[in-house]
Structure 1
Amino acid sequence: MAFNLRIRGMSEFQIVEVISGVRAHAANGVSAESEFGSPEEYTSSFPKGNGAHVGLA
């Protein structure tokens, strides 16, 4: 999922926020895939970012 979010241009902070939200649902006994769909489907629901990545040239 993180990879898919990165190629959409999301910042590392945004990626951590998204993944934390998915993990919170999973911690409550809800299957992440049943709640959000496949990682590819879920990440495609986010708008493409500006492509700026911290630590990448």
Structure 2
Amino acid sequence: MTGTVKAAAFWAAIAIPATYPVLLYMGLEGTPGLLFVGLLFANALALAIGHDYKR
């Protein structure tokens, strides 16, 4: 995997959790709940891909 992809995944894994408080404030019923679950999955994927960036 290229360094650019790992870098993007690394920084995405840092940035994605910043959206969690807003979604939790909105409530988890309906669309915000689906978005929250999708972002959790995306964060886990970004962590898996970007975990060895700059090692």
* Band of TM-score, shorter chain: 0.3 to 0.5
Taking structure 2 as the reference length, what is the TM-score of the superposition?
Answer: 0.36
